[in-house]
Amino acid sequence: MKQLSFLLFATATATDPRQLPSSTITQCTYLSSPTTTPLPPCQLIGTEPDLSGVAIGAWKKTCTLKEASATLASTSSFSPFQYAQYHPEVVGTETNINKVFDVGDRARACFGPETRMENPAKYDRKVSSLFYSWVPETCSLVDLNRAHLQQLLQQQNIVFLGDSVMNQFVSSVWALTGTRPVFYRSWILVNDKTRRPIDPLHALMCQQCRTSKNFPNQASTSDADGAESHCSFYKKECPSFGDSNVAPSGDTFDWAKLLPDTDVLVLNTGAHLHNVFHDLAKPGRLKTIAEGVAQFLEERFPAPKSIVWLRTPLYAPSCELAAEPAVQNKATQVKYNLKDSMLRSWDTLRKGQNVWEKALLARKGLQGRVSIISSSSSNLRVDQHPGSNNCAKCSGQYPDCLHFCYPGGSDHWVTLLYGILKQMEEKK
C-alpha cells in the first residue's frame, strides 16, 4: 500500500462545494460523512429519499494528501483496499487486472499495476476518487459501523435480489463487513402478463411453444399429442419477451419461494429492461411493470417484513474523462444522445427513475415498510466508473459507465443500508 503515498490529489477552489473547509478535516476516514454544523439525522425508512433530504447534497473531499497517505499505509485504520481480502483482483495482478472477475459482474478493478502502467493519470484519478464522502445538505448520515452492520446482517434473514448492479452492492457488503450476503440474480422481476415472478418451467414451456408452428394461432383442434391446445393455453400467460434471444437465464427464477423465510428484501431492476421490453418507451409501460412488482409484494410479503429498493444508477456517458464528482445542479443532469438506441433507452429509464418508488409507496399494505436507497448521489460519481480502463480486451462499443470500480461507488450504498437497518432496529 505504501506505493500509493505519492499520488497527487486534485485540488479544489475555496468556493467549490466538493471541498470541506480545511479546519473540518481532522482525519482520513473512508466512507465518513463529515458535517460542518450539527444536523438532524436523515430519515431513511418509509419515505421517498428525495423528500427525506439524503438525496440533496455534495461529495466532499475529506482527506489531505498527508492524511490519505497515512491511512493507506496504516495497519490500524480502515483502508478501502480491505477489499483485497475478499477480491484479490481489486489490488490486481498482471494476470487478472482489468478483467471481469465475478461471473456476471462486469465491474472491473481500476487500481492494479497494469492500470498504473498503461494509464497512470487515470490510475491517480481513481485512487483520488476514494477520498470523497457524501454530505447531505439538510440532514446527517451515520458513519458506517462495520461491526454493528455485521451484527444486523446476522440477526435477520436479508436477501438481495436483482441484476449486476445489485451484485456490486452485495460485493461491497461482503468486502466491508466480511459477511457474504445471500444474493439471487434476476434481471427482470416479474412476468409482465401475470405480474408474478417468472416460473422456470412455465418459461420453458413458453419458449417451446413459440417454436411451434401452431403457437401463433388460437386453434380449435389439437394434434395427436395435444401440442396445439397446450400452446394455446400457455400463450395467454407467456411473458412478452418469450420470443427474445436476449432474455438471460436469470430472468427465469421464481423468487417467490424466498419470501417466507426473508425478513428484509433488498431488490432492484432497470438496467436490462430495455433489452427485453422493446416497447418500454410506450406511455405507461414502465408504470405497469412497477405496479406488478408492488402488487405482488403486497400480497406475498406481509408485515413486519421490510423492503429496501435500490434505485438503479444511470449510465454516465462522460465517465471516461471525469476527474472528480459532478456537482448537483441542473447543468450536470445526465443528457443522452437520443439518436443512439442504447442511450435512448437510458433516457427512458432516467425519466421513469421514481416510478418504482411511487408504485411501492402507494400500496397500502406496504406503507411504512419500504425504504429507498436513492441513486441521486451515485449518479454524481462519474469519476468512479471503470470506463474502458485503457484495456483493449475488455472494451466494447460502449465504455462501462454504469458499474463502479472496486472499491468505489457501491460502497456508499452500504452506508445507506446500514442507516436503514439501524433505524429499523431503533424503531422496534
What residue ranges do the domains of the chain occupy? Answer: 2-198+239-427, 202-235
Q: What is the pTM of this model?
A: 0.81
The dihedral sign for the CA sequence 185, 189, 194, 195? positive
In degrees, rounded to 5, the angle at the alpha carbon of residue 230 between the alpha carbons of residues 227 and 233 is 150
Q: Which residues lie closer than 8 Å to 154 by C-beta, 6 or more apart?
A: 179
Query: Does the pLDDT of residue 22 top 70, yes or no?
Result: no
Q: What is the pLDDT of residues 336-394, one digit of tens each?
A: 888 887 788 888 888 887 888 899 999 999 999 999 998 889 999 998 888 775 444 44
**What is the third-level CATH fold of 2-198+239-427?**
Rossmann fold (3.40.50)
User: How many Å separate Cα 292 from the centre of its chain?
Assistant: 21
pLDDT computed for residue 426 by the predictor: 93
pLDDT computed for residue 175 by the predictor: 80
Query: Looking at per-residue confidence, does 332 or 377 come out higher?
Result: 377
Q: List, as one string, the DSSP characters of 364-376.
A: GGGTTSEEEE-ST
Specify whether the CB–CB gap between 158 and 261 falls below 8 A. no
